[in-house]
Chain A
Amino acid sequence: MEEGKVLSQSIQQSAAAYVIIHDKFGEAISAFDANETMPFFEVVDTALWPEIALFMRDHAKLQFNYMACLSGVDYQAEDKVGIVCNIESLGQCHHKIAVKVKCARQGGSIPSVACVWHTANWHEREAYDMFGMLFTGHPDMRRILCPDDWEGYPLLKDYKVQESYHGIKVPY
């Protein structure tokens, strides 16, 4: 974090939460990006992601019990796809933080956190449906919005829509 910058209260809270997570996991997570609009950190060692998630949910001072959103993102320039999770605490603590996890663009996988937050179940299915990364350990890894036999992953930046689907012309 940059020194001498006056941070708003909510970002200070996020930074305090980050320090607790960083003390436990050290190099497995990246430095804290204290930007104004959405402070976040990235999970470098993706295999530890479920463990970090569980720690964030159950630690008495963190209590990140509510996953507001999980969005898939295509980082075409880095040749990666990833997820951005907006997590916050409902109840005693009132802080929120965003977590990013990335994996290879072709055949990459991210460990699932559906067992930590049930809501991640469908969000991860949607991310898989749209970006094609697999979530290992997911209880029900199927497409959710597109049909099961749809070709390709629509939200990738270089996605080309298929010519026909069961004899129906697709592009129009």
Chain B
Amino acid sequence: MQELDRAGMGSVRVTRKGNNVVVLEKDLATEQMVLAMGPQHPSTHGVLKLECLTDGEVITEAVPYLGYLHRCFEKCCENVDYPAVVPYTDRLDYLAGMNSEFAYAIAVEKLLDVEIPRRVEFIRVIVAELNRIASHLVAIGTYGIDLGAFTPFLFCFRDREIILSLLEWASGARMLYNYIWVGGLAYDIPSDFNRRVKEFVDYFRPKTVELYKLLTENEIFVKRTRGIGIMPADVAINYGWSGPMLRGSGVKWDLRRNDPYSVYPELDFAVPVPDGKTSDVGDCLSRHLVRALEMEESLKIIEQCIDKMPSAEGFNPRSAVPKRVRPKAGEVYGRAENPRGELGFYIQSDGKSTKPLRCKARSSCFVNLSAMKDLSKGQLIPDLVAIIGSIDIVLGEVDR
């Protein structure tokens, strides 16, 4: 048995034994074949098309085709007032609407110079972190499905349902919230909200351990992900990766810590990066681990926010919401740490209009996906599924 140099593989039939690619037959008569994966394919997590050039089982090149879900978000923004953009941001990353709204609010507030009430900040962080957990649950659950583990998916969706109910209670919607407004919130949280969130935290903490064991200690899952799709740290930075993807490559970079916003500087939480013992740094398993460990940190953040939150007495969630949002002339690039990485908004204001002159969404999935060509080169077709799953794309945000 012989291990192969993956780059220059020609006509061979291979299989994987452990972490090695093993040749079964050599010098087979093969020819390059184009394999179209998607746009309707369960493991592309939406309408992404990958055109794979394959040589036997080995992918020589995979070219992503996007735009199937393009809704001209940026053109829409130029035609509506600043506050009216918020519902559109929900539809970018529809699995983490709160986080998208948060990023947009931060960007516009930088231009406006408004003082946000402290209670608003804490509520924003709580709902954003709840949404982060919900989003990671979908990422982890569907990743399990991609690799043949069905049970974690059911567990994840069971627990995600509780979060969605909580967010629905606060905002009135399950996924597309329109809750975090420029300068404040749509509503205050219900009076019993914090107690219910605390109950959820106590309920969910043991479940994270259970979920962790179900996947990370599952031999099949580990064999499918460990050592697959390795991305070195410097290349990851050059590709503009952010969020769990970048941290999976061992770079301790979290905007909540490195470019702090809201009340995150007051909160105590860790930024998990893989230690190289349970996974090879930069592989699919590392990225999965980072997500799994991050949920625990989000729980910590939520608990601290509940304890530190000022009381609701005399509180008006819309007290700082401007009657008419007309920022001073200028530009801003505001961003926040989303479940999938850095979501940034580049906003240009001419100082006269109540509509943004330009509003560009820098999507984390879009940027993370752009490394697909490098990641997939020389991989086996089943490993490609593992790689796409580990990127955790939401096509609503990729195509905008």
Q: Are B238 and A73 in contact (CB under 8 A)?
A: no
The answer, yes or no, to whether A25 is at the interface (CB within 8 Å) is: no
Asked if B66 is an interface residue, CB under 8 A from chain A, the answer is yes
List, in ascending order, chain A residues with CB within 8 A of B358's CB: 71, 73-74, 155
Q: Which of A72, A90, A117, A154 has the most CB of B within 10 A?
A: A90
Q: Does B366 contact A (CB under 8 A)?
A: yes
Contacts of A46 in B (CB 8 A): none
**A86 B239 Cβ-Cβ under 8 A:** no
User: What distance in Å separates the Cβ of A33 from its nearest Cβ neighbour in chain B?
Assistant: 10
Is the Cβ of A35 less than 8 Å from the Cβ of B346?
no
Contact with B along A141-156 (1 / 0, CB 8 A): 0001111000000110
Counting chain A residues whose Cβ lies within 8 A of the other chain, the interface size class is: 20 to 34
Q: How large is the interface on B (under 10, 10 to 19, 20 to 34, 35 or more residues)?
A: 35 or more
Report which of B235, B330, B335, B348 forms a contact with A73, defined as CB distance below 8 A: B348
B253 contacts A37, C-beta separation under 8 Å = no
Q: For residue A98, which residues in chain B have a CB less than 8 angstroms away from its CB?
A: 331, 333
CA distance A58 to B82 in the complex (A): 39
Closest to B371 in A: A118
Among B69-77, B221-229, B274-282, the stretch that binds chain A is: B69-77
Determine whether the beta carbon of A147 is less than 8 Å from that of B67. yes
Alpha-carbon distance A68/B360, docked complex (angstroms): 12
- Find the residue from B237, B342, B399 having the highest chain A CB count within 10 A: B237
B237/A65 in contact, CB under 8 A: yes
Say whether A145 contacts B70, CB under 8 Å: yes
Q: In B316-352, which residues have CB < 8 Å from any A CB?
A: 330-333, 335, 342, 344, 346, 348
Query: Across the interface, do B366 and A90 meet the contact criterion of CB distance under 8 Å?
Result: no
The interface residues of chain A lying within 8 Å CB-to-CB of B74 are 130, 155
Q: Which A residue sits closest to B241, measured CB to CB? A: A119
Spell out B's residues near A (CB within 8 Å): 66-67, 70, 72, 74-75, 78, 110-111, 234-235, 237-240, 251, 253, 258, 330-333, 335, 342, 344, 346, 348, 358, 360, 362, 366-367, 370-371, 374, 399-400
Residues of A within 8 A of B (CB): 35, 37-38, 40, 65-69, 71-74, 84, 86, 90-91, 94, 98, 117-119, 121-123, 130, 144-147, 154-155
